[in-house]
Chain A
Amino acid sequence: MRNDNLRLTASADAGSIQMGMGSGKPARRVRRNLTVPLMMLVPFIVLFAAFVLYPVINSLYLSFTDYNAISQPRFTGIENYVALFQDPRFYKALGNTALFVVSVVVLNTVLGLTLAMVFGGQSLWDQIMRAVFFLPAVAGGIAILAVWKWILSGESYGILNAVRETFGLDPIVWLGTPSLAVTMLVVVAVWGGMGGTMILFVAGLRAIPTELYEAAAIDGATPSQRFWRITLPLLRPTMLYIVITGTIGAFQVFNEPYLLFGGVSSVGGLLDSALTLVTYLYDRGFGRFQLGYASAVAWVLFIIVFILTLINLRVGEPEDRASK
């Protein structure tokens, strides 16, 4: 109700401004009214066109060419896409990325929400714990990965193996065992991401009116019922934001696989066990000069992320709006 009033007021204000602008013909009035705002938008539009729009459109064109960055691009039609869908390394990268995305998004959301529920209060202890869990999100990415490389070293001086050895267990080659590669990527990503997710959930939880919980408690609702019937539904917008941005971010994962698993001739680790779509794109584009092919990978990645975002938005819509 309050929103409707606001919209009406704004509309009336705009009307009054237009009325005061003079008595010229409507088309000329509109032109005159738009000139200043458009002029103010020019710097943004120029930068956006030069650094976002043009590269994006150009990459779409390049995806239909054979291009090595130095010679002129040669138009090849859908050849890159045909080759891509016949390329086993692409499917390996796609499979690894899908597993990574699902695991990271689910774990980040669940653990972030759990941490927010546990440490969402105002006590000093809660504030310290929130800072502790948020630290990985603000620490430098590359430096942190160098530390992880040390933690996960297959030798006995690797921190994780040193701990295992104190319990009499044999060392594990964490980064050299193909079946563990995606798991290691997920561990590193979730460790670095759940603190940020927790902060978003804390903000979401604080926006829920306490009266709802009080009324539910008076009506005899159990803590579990309050969580499922009040907390989760009202956290839907926060959850939607976290899942969508998390999905996009996870699909774009590069630093972790590149720095933890990259080798002399392969960016994907042993048997491409840690190859992801973006590292594969980088390998083809900047390792092998196949920028047309790399652009095709980028567009396939874009389409996948776009479709998943649409699905997320649809699933996350409030039930009343979805049913209309």
Chain B
Amino acid sequence: MIKTATDLYTKAHPNVTFALQAIPWSDAHAKILSAAAARQGPDIITGGLSWGIELGNLGGMVNLTKDYPALDKQVKAENLPGILQSVVTPDNQLYAMPYNLTVQMQFLRPDLLKAAGVNGAPKTWNELTSGITKLQKAGHKGYMVQWGSTDWLGYFPYLYQAGGSYYDKACTKATVNSPEGVRALTFFAELYTKYKAPIDAANDLPGGLDNGNYPIGSSDSKFNFDITYPKMKGKWTLAALPAGPTGKYTAFLGGTVIGIMSYSKSKDAAADFLKSLNNAQVSKALIQNAFKSGLYFIPPRSDFAANLTLPADQKAALLKQLKDSAGPPNCTGWEASGADVTKAIQQVILNKADPKKALDQAAAAMNANLKK
């Protein structure tokens, strides 16, 4: 996808050349770490939202706040607040800027929902569970969590919708074991234990929507099933997540960041390229080329995201969800703590552990990681 942006940049700057290398997501973290350790490799990298802070704190990435203040100011002024809180350190340093976004959403088959007596996309937790019950009575399997099944990522929206969070705002202590956190975990676990959401390492939501087993589910918003599942064209749609007891319908906001490696000998040229990504024309070209490949490229600016070529109902739902979404915590030690939260979630779902006790254990591990 990024070739679209580099081609446009090269057209305007013929003296600059790019050598692009695609790395599988599963290997990218280790490879970029190895490049940072060896101090040789790519000048610019794209990677997970938390990688900028992680590598920046280790001295592996250029501090954009310090070295390129104009770019830093532009990013902080124009990008969605939900994504900024994940990529800016607690002391306001930016090491890598958001490149594209993906957000959790509901994927639905309105025809099957209607036939089962479910009136449109569930808008609250109660509507979700009653909808699942109706679907199961009609012979469907029910609801599927694809992105983050039995994981901290799948639990994330319910935690925020219940009014909770992983840490306090100043990142001084873990708050996942708050009453809101316990309520969220109780509900999330019931989706599996009571409402029989599938527990598998590789849930296939598009397949479930296509064959009708799962007429509703949650996943990330980067897929355009009109192209990847042509038989489903016109039969599926998107909706914002159901709201929790606070009325919030917060979703997990993922995506990638782009930054400059600290060993780069072409830092200024790299920073200029990063700046070019904030151009409306570049953003539009990225959106259009991704769409042709069956993917949605969602820029980190809501004004650019409005250029997405989607059916009106899907676009409205996506823009609505982007307004109430949040990225992963930016606190020290979060990378190591995700596994502890996941363990607590799985103990509740699989071993019927007490949610409060499980989250207390996770919070203790998170607090220990905060001090490292």
Contact = CB atoms under 8 A, between A and B. Distances in A.
Partners in one complex: yes
B29 A286 contact: yes
B150 A270 contact: yes
Contacts of A154: 198-200
Contacts of B37: 69-70
B280 interface: no
B199 A155 contact: no
A175 B202 contact: yes
A288 B199 contact: no
Interface in A145-178: 149, 153-157, 173, 175-178
Given A263-B342, A272-B343, A176 B199 contact: yes
Interface in B30-75: 30, 33-34, 36-37, 54-55, 58-60
Contacts of A265: 151-153, 338-339, 341-342
Nearest to A171: B198
Contact of B58 (A68, A177, A266, A286): A68
Contact of B350 (A68, A149, A178): A178
A124 interface: no
Given A155-B213, A269-B201, 20 more contacts: A68-B58, A69-B36, A153-B204, A157-B211, A173-B200, A175-B200, A177-B199, A178-B350, A264-B151, A264-B342, A265-B151, A265-B338, A266-B151, A266-B342, A270-B150, A270-B199, A271-B346, A271-B351, A288-B336, A289-B33
A3 B341 CA distance: 65
Given A265-B338, A271-B343, A173 B198 contact: yes
**Which of B54, B150, B201, B207 has the most CB atoms of chain A within a 10 A radius of its CB?**
B201
Interface string A289-309: 100000000000000000000
Interface string B185-219: 00000000000001111101001100101000000
Given A263-B342, A271-B351, A175 B201 contact: yes
9 residue pairs, one from A and one from B, having the closest CB atoms: A265-B338, A69-B37, A286-B30, A154-B200, A176-B199, A70-B58, A176-B200, A175-B201, A264-B151
Interface in A231-262: 260-262
A69 B202 contact: no
Contacts of B288: none
A155 B335 contact: no
A100 to B, nearest CB: 18
Interface of B: 26, 29-30, 33-34, 36-37, 54-55, 58-60, 148, 150-153, 198-202, 204, 207-208, 211, 213, 335-336, 338-339, 341-343, 346-347, 350-351
15 contacts: A70-B36, A70-B37, A70-B59, A71-B58, A153-B202, A155-B207, A157-B211, A176-B199, A176-B201, A266-B339, A270-B199, A271-B346, A271-B350, A286-B29, A286-B30
Interface in A1-36: none
A264 B37 CA distance: 24
Contacts of B58: 68-71, 289
Interface string A86-103: 000000000000000000
Nearest to A66: B372
A287 B211 CA distance: 36
Contact of A270 (B204, B339, B346): B346
A133 B242 CA distance: 52
A135 to B, nearest CB: 25
A296 B30 CA distance: 19
B106 to A, nearest CB: 19
A173 B203 CA distance: 11
B201 A261 contact: yes
A186 B148 CA distance: 26
A203 B352 CA distance: 52
A264 B207 CA distance: 21
Contacts, number: 94
Interface of A is mostly: loop
Contacts of B34: 69
Nearest to B341: A265
A263 B201 contact: yes
B148 A264 contact: yes
Contact of A271 (B33, B151, B200, B347): B347
A270 to B, nearest CB: 5
A282 B343 CA distance: 18
A270 B350 contact: yes
Interface string A52-78: 000000000000000011110000000
Contacts of B60: 70
A263 B151 contact: yes
A282 B27 CA distance: 11
A91 to B, nearest CB: 14
Contacts of A178: 350
A209 B151 CA distance: 59
Contacts of B208: 155
A71 B37 CA distance: 8
B185 to A, nearest CB: 15
A273 B198 CA distance: 18
Nearest to A260: B201
Query: Which of B34, B213, B342 has the most CB atoms of chain A within a 10 A radius of its CB?
Result: B342
A216 B342 CA distance: 62
A178 to B, nearest CB: 6
A149 B204 CA distance: 12
A157 B208 CA distance: 10
